[in-house]
Each structure stands twice: as structure tokens, then as C-alpha cells.
Amino acid sequence: MQKLVTPQDLAGLDVLVTAGPTREPLDPVRYLSNRSSGKMGYALAKAAALRGARVTLISGPTALVSPPGVEIIQVQTAEQMFQEVIKRAEKTQIIIKAAAVADYRPLDAKEQKIKKQGQEMNIEFTQNRDILAELGRQKGAHQLLVGFAAETNDLVQNAIGKLKRKNVDLLVANDVTQPGAGFDYDTNIVRIFDQNGELTSLPRLDKQQVAWEILNIVVKMFNPLRG
């Protein structure tokens, strides 16, 4: 029913969304992860599907159910997410990277459970590949790339830095220290940047509404790229 009253302004387009955290194993029973419920990414996938897109959602572990009409691919680690995203990137017009990807993974994940030993413990980490930066390097002329940034300080400077460094078209930033923004909340407070600076600053909204507003901007930016 909702489809009948929803603008089909993403019809015919392939949209890829990433969501949730990644998990980087330390041993068979432990992992390093990020605080992320996946709600923002799932809301974006749902909204894009309602607006007529063919949506693929590449998701880290969350407690959420897959939105209707969305192809979902479950992953655990940043490296698995990298592989699943990159192999689909070329045929996708709009890529939205809402996932909280772990920046590092344990250098040496143990095959057996690590036993408790001594008072202190050191673990060596190695950096994961940056999926968004790789997408920015490969970006085609008819492709739109949307990144996210969850910040605790210097939001504008950090957001613009990431946007430029990773060659993304839109960057959605939120200050996770604000009540009602990010992590487990059902709401978010975001500021959206493009290559020219800040486009808009949204009030606290339900994540489904935030998704809708982001897609309004995406549609406006993507139309001239359609060729």
C-alpha cells in the first residue's frame, strides 16, 4: 500500500548499503567490535527499496530483521565486508556506507581459546583496509558515494577531512555525544556535507526520517549524473 504513495525516484537503480559493526576475532570465543546497532543503515536500505531501488544490504552482525524487498548479505569481519562490497561496486550506482567498520584487527587470531595469564596482556593489531577510501579511488563518473562519520569532537573539520580524503560525494556526520544521536537510539541528529561544505543540519529525527532526508539529497545529486 505504502508503495502506491511513495515516489519511485530510485526506480531502476542499484543501491548498495552497508550497516552494523564488524567483528574482528581474537580467538574462537572473543572479538573486537564497534558500538553500532545497524539501525541507520537498515533504515536507509528500507527507504531506498520503498523508493524503487534494487537494494543490496551488506550487514555486520545486528539484532535487526532484513527490510522487505532487500537482498541481504551477512558478514562478520571488515575484510569480508571489503570483499562483498568491492565485488558489487562497479555495477552499483549509489553506495551508502553506514557501517561502523573496525579500523584494526588482531594481528594473529588464535585458533584456540586464549588462556588467562599474568596481570597484563598485550595484543597486537593491524589496520584493516578502508572500504570507503577504496570505493572513492575506483569511483566511476555515474556513481554516487555516501560516507558516514560518527564523531565526538571537531565534527566539521573531521567530516570535511574524510569527505575530501576518501573522494566521497556526501558525508553524513553525527556527534555521538549528543543525547538522541547515533548508536542504540532510534533517532539521530546529523549534519550533511558535500564537496563544497555543509549542505544541511537536521534536527533530531527518527532514523527512518533521517534516511528519507538523506535519500532526498541523494536523488537530487544523482539525477545530473544519470547522463
Q: Say whether 164 counts as a known binding-site residue.
A: no
Q: Report in angstroms how near the CB of residue 134 gets to ligand CTP at its nearest.
A: 8
Distance CA 157, CA 69 (A): 37
Which is closer to ligand CTP, CB of 52 or CB of 77?
77
Residues at the site binding ligand CTP, with contacts judged by CB under 6 A: 78, 97, 99, 101, 103, 128, 130-132, 147-150, 162
All cell numbers assigned to 208: 527512518
Distance from C-alpha of 215 to C-alpha of 194, rounded to nearest angstrom: 14
| CB-nearer residue toward ligand CTP: 52 or 89 | 89
Between the alpha carbon of residue 69 and those of residues 46, 115, 133, 175, 227, the distances in Å are: 8, 45, 29, 31, 27
Residues found near Ca ion in the complex (CB under 5 A): 103
Q: State yes or no: is 34 an active-site residue.
A: yes
Nearest approach in angstroms of CB 130 to ligand CTP is 4
Comparing CB distances to ligand CTP, the nearer of 70 and 132 is 132
Instruction: Please indicate if the annotation marks 110 as binding a ligand.
Output: no
80-101 burial, b at 16+ Cβ within 10 Å, e below that, comes to bbbebbeebbeebbbbbbbbbb
Phi, psi of 6 (to 5 degrees): -95, 135
CB under 5 to 8 A by kind: which of Ca ion, ligand CTP, none does 132 bind? ligand CTP
What is the nearest approach in angstroms of ligand CTP to the Cβ of residue 20? 10
The annotation status of 91 as a binding-site residue, yes or no, is no
Q: Name the active-site residue from 34, 128, 174, 188.
A: 34
Q: Which residue is nearest to Ca ion (CB)?
A: 103
Q: How far apart are CB 117 and ligand CTP at their closest, in Å?
A: 31
Residues 6+ apart with CB under 8 A from 93: 13, 14, 15, 142, 143, 144, 222, 225
CB-side neighbour CA atoms (13 Å) of 10: 30
* Minimum CB distance to Ca ion smaller for 49 or for 131: 131
**Cell numbers describing residue 38:** 545497524
Give the containing element (helix H, strand E) for 105.
Answer: strand 104-106
- In the list Ca ion, ligand CTP, none, the entry touching 13 (Cβ below 5 to 8 angstroms by class) is none
Binding residues for CTP, by number, are 103, 113, 148, 162, 166
Q: Point out the residues that are catalytic.
A: 34
Binding residues, by number, are 103, 113, 148, 162, 166
